[in-house]
């Protein structure tokens, strides 16, 4: 491993430790039984097979959103649109999952492909506006999130809503569902789809011309332009790929974890995806570990919230803190200097 890479690993670890310590401090301040709460937070997620399965199932959508963010981040594009796409693709594919009868296998594939197309088309808007006209993709994608939420809930109330269900769509057809692999853990087959996507994004980013161009534009757009890379095209491709992954994520999450469409608001995967991409240094393979770690944190926070007196939002606070530390170039900077210099001296 190069010194640069091992430094990134070290820095990430230190940031995580500091964030965990901060979480303990918060627990000590708010909990009546702090030691017990901390024990639940740390060890709770491993105490039952169901909880371990829960970590993996929580990690699956996070792998998709992390990958989606990693692709746009690699091109230095700050697009937070994965959030809205997760929700909206979930709503639209519900139409297929409820009303289009197809054989098992084909049904899931059609749903996932449709979601990928929807996601890519949605991302085309902020992507094109940024690449061609320079409109801030951060702002346009956030506006799109709110618009998609409105469109999705319109679809829900006008079409999907089951009058017999208190708050959900008509149930999905059985042929559309993604089954669980091992019943005791309740882990579903979406895991393999997520891993497949990781492999595909890895190959795309590191073994194809387009992937290379995306990374070059991300490192230095001006230089990339001088060396003949079409920046407009590259930025749009990064957005399309990112949108397709987010769309797939939304559809897999819907038909694997739900029996009907029941999201009332944006599910929050977009922001967490940004965190995961950062933890993973935008590397698709590392996204898996980062997603598992964040899933572990939020499972721990959920358990503490259920069995103790600390609200589950603690995991959001933790995540924000981790982002702040990792995003800080100067964090552990003097250590990095010495570490790199020693490497050169050898």
Using CB under 8 A as the binding rule, the residues of this chain from 105 to 134 that contact other proteins are 129, 132-134
Whether 252 and 60 have beta carbons less than 8 Å apart is answered as yes
- Between residues 145 and 254, which has the closer beta carbon with respect to other proteins? 145
User: Residues 171-210: x/- map of binding to other proteins (CB under 8 A)?
Assistant: ----------------------------------------
CA end-to-end distance (rounded Å), the chain = 15
In this structure, what DSSP letter does residue 189 have?
T
How far apart, in Å, are the Cα atoms of 323 and each of 66, 105, 165, 271, 345?
A: 14, 39, 39, 10, 32
* Angle at which helices 284-307 and 49-74 cross, to 10°: 140
Q: Which of 60, 278, 291, 294 binds other proteins (CB under 8 A)?
A: 278
Q: Is 150 in the site for other proteins (CB under 8 A)?
A: yes
Nearest-angstrom CA–CA distance, 222 and 237: 18
Give the binding range for other proteins (CB under 8 A) out of 142-150, 165-173, 187-195, 287-295: 142-150
Using CB under 8 A as the binding rule, the residues of this chain from 43 to 82 that contact other proteins are 78, 80
Whose CA is closest to 98, among 188, 158, 178, 177?
177
Q: Is 30 in the site for other proteins (CB under 8 A)?
A: yes
Any idea which residue has 């959103």 for tokens?
65
Give the binding range for other proteins (CB under 8 A) out of 54-62, 85-93, 108-116, 324-332: 324-332
Closest approach, Cβ 125 to other proteins, in A, equals 8
Whose CA is closest to 44, among 265, 263, 305, 291?
305
Backbone phi and psi for residue 37, each to the nearest 5 degrees, phi listed first: -65, -40
Q: Is 144 in the site for other proteins (CB under 8 A)?
A: yes
Using CB under 8 A as the binding rule, the residues of this chain from 236 to 275 that contact other proteins are 271, 274
Closest approach, Cβ 246 to other proteins, in A, equals 17
Q: Binding residues for other proteins, per CB under 8 A?
A: 30, 78, 80, 129, 132-136, 138-140, 142-144, 146-147, 149-151, 153-154, 156-158, 271, 274, 278, 311, 313-317, 319-321, 323-324, 327-331
């Amino acid at each position: 491993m190069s010194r640069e890479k091992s430094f990134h690993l070290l820095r990430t670890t230190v940031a995580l430790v500091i964030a965990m310590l901060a979480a303990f401090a918060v627990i000590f301040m708010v909990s009546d039984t702090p030691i017990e709460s901390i024990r639940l937070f740390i060890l709770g997620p491993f105490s039952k097979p169901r909880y371990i399965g829960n970590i993996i199932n929580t990690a699956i959508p996070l792998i998709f959103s992390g990958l989606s963010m990693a692709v746009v981040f690699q091109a230095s594009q700050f697009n937070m649109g994965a959030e809205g796409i997760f929700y909206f693709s979930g709503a639209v594919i519900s139409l297929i999952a409820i009303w289009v009868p197809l054989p098992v296998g084909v049904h899931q594939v059609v749903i996932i492909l449709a979601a990928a197309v929807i996601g890519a088309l949605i991302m085309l808007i902020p992507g094109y506006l940024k690449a061609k006209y320079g409109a801030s993709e951060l702002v346009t994608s956030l506006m799109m999130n709110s618009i998609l939420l409105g469109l999705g809930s319109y679809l829900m109330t006008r079409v999907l809503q089951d009058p017999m269900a208190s708050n959900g769509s008509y149930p999905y057809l059985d042929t559309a569902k993604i089954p669980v692999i091992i019943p005791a853990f309740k882990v579903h087959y979406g895991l393999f789809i997520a891993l497949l996507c990781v492999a595909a994004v890895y190959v795309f980013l590191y073994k194809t011309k387009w992937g290379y161009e995306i990374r070059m534009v991300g490192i230095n757009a001006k230089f990339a332009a001088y060396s003949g890379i079409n920046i407009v095209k590259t930025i749009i491709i990064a957005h399309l790929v990112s949108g397709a992954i987010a769309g797939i994520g939304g559809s897999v999450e819907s038909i694997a974890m739900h029996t009907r469409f029941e999201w009332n608001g944006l599910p929050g995967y977009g922001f967490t995806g940004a965190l995961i991409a950062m933890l993973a240094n935008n590397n698709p393979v590392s996204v898996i570990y980062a997603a598992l770690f964040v899933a572990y944190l939020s499972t721990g926070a959920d358990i503490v919230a259920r069995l103790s007196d600390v609200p589950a939002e603690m995991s959001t606070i933790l995540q924000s803190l981790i982002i702040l530390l990792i995003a800080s170039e100067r964090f552990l900077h003097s250590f990095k200097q010495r570490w790199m210099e020693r490497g050169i001296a050898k």
